[in-house]
Amino acid sequence: MKTLEKLALTLKEFAGLHEEDFEKSVPYWTELSYKKWEFFNEYKNVCKYLGFIDEGVFRSYMIDGKTGEEKNVFLYSGNQFVVSFKSFINQAPCDYYTQAMTDAKVLCIHIIHLQKLYKESHSWERFGRLLAQEAFNVTIERTESFLFKTPEERYIDLIKHHPDIFNTVPLYHISSYLGIQGPSLSRIRKRLSGK
């Protein structure tokens, strides 16, 4: 399936976007390739693009000011949208980096074109609202997972949302995302593989 077809199907499932509405957007999407470790958006840069991931995995991370340690905040993989959302909607500098963890292919749309679509179509406006709700939900779920869930439960959630992550991403990045040390991740994986 071609990338634009995948995007059209995802938008239909996600926001009920019909073919005629999707066609309005086709001239605005640009296919970009990212090499492993290349940035989608950098710290203190304004995020100007919403990306739909055809292939690859991205992470958003911040650098601890005291230790210099990188801490993974969000992960994005195939058929998901990648965006530094707060920066994107406010057109303000971003508080973290968003980087490809593998070679990746992404369809991108500029904020100006997306805002034009919002004005032209109620369906696109609905997409924007649903995208904002999804970003809010992901952020709240991520925060609450550290308050209310065990590392094992966070691990299970990760597998549910990113089933192929272990085939493409080093374990230390997964440990960082889960907020645990490498040996703890190994114990969780061993315990769950024995079930």
Kindly report, residue by residue over 92-130, the tens digit of the pLDDT. 999 999 999 999 999 999 999 999 999 999 999 999 999
Q: Read off the pLDDT of each residue in 67-81 and give the average, rounded to a whole number.
A: 94
Q: Is residue 115 part of a domain?
A: yes
Domain at 110, CATH number: 2.60.120.10
Burial of 59 (0-12, 13-18, 19+ CB in 10 A): buried
Q: Is residue 132 part of a domain?
A: yes
Q: Is residue 143 part of a domain?
A: no
Residue pLDDT, tens place only, 87-100: 999 999 999 999 99
- Buried b / exposed e along 82-118 (16+ C-beta atoms within 10 A): bbbbebbbeeeebebbbbbbbebbbbbbebebbeebb
Q: Is residue 166 part of a domain?
A: yes
Same domain membership, residue 158 and residue 100: no
Predicted pLDDT at 126: 97
Same domain membership, residue 180 and residue 86: no
Q: Which of 181, 18, 49 is nearest to 111 (CA)?
A: 49
* Spatial separation of the C-alpha atoms in residues 84 and 51, rounded to whole Å: 10
Same domain membership, residue 163 and residue 89: no
Q: 154 lies in which domain range?
A: 149-195
Same domain membership, residue 121 and residue 49: yes
Task: Give the count of domains, the chain.
Answer: 2
Max intra-chain CA distance, the chain: 54
Cβ–Cβ under 8 Å, residues 22 and 109: no
Same domain membership, residue 17 and residue 50: yes
Tell me which of 138, 163, 179 is where a domain ends.
138
Q: Is residue 84 part of a domain?
A: yes
Same domain membership, residue 165 and residue 122: no
Question: What value, to the nearest 5°, has the Cα angle with vertex 16 and ends 128 and 6?
Answer: 90
Same domain membership, residue 175 and residue 91: no
* Spatial separation of the C-alpha atoms in residues 97 and 52, rounded to whole Å: 17
Q: Is residue 127 part of a domain?
A: yes
Residue pLDDT, tens place only, 183-192: 899 999 988 8
Give the helix ranges, DSSP H, for the chain. Answer: 3-15, 19-25, 85-90, 111-120, 122-148, 151-161, 165-168, 171-178, 182-193
Same domain membership, residue 74 and residue 158: no
Q: Is residue 144 part of a domain?
A: no
Same domain membership, residue 117 and residue 25: yes
Same domain membership, residue 172 and residue 77: no
Round the average pLDDT of the chain to a whole number and report it.
94
Which residue reads 């990648």 in tokens? 82
pTM, to two decimals? 0.92
Same domain membership, residue 154 and residue 81: no
Distances (CA, A) of 93 to 41, 44, 58, 90, 100: 10, 4, 19, 9, 19
Q: Nearest 5°: phi and psi at 150?
A: -80, 160
Q: Is residue 71 part of a domain?
A: yes
Does 1 have pLDDT greater than 90? no
- Using pLDDT thresholds of 50, 70 and 90, give the confidence band for residue 19: very high
Same domain membership, residue 93 and residue 13: yes
Q: Which of 47, 69, 77, 71 is nearest to 138 (CA)?
A: 77
Does 7 have pLDDT greater than 70? yes
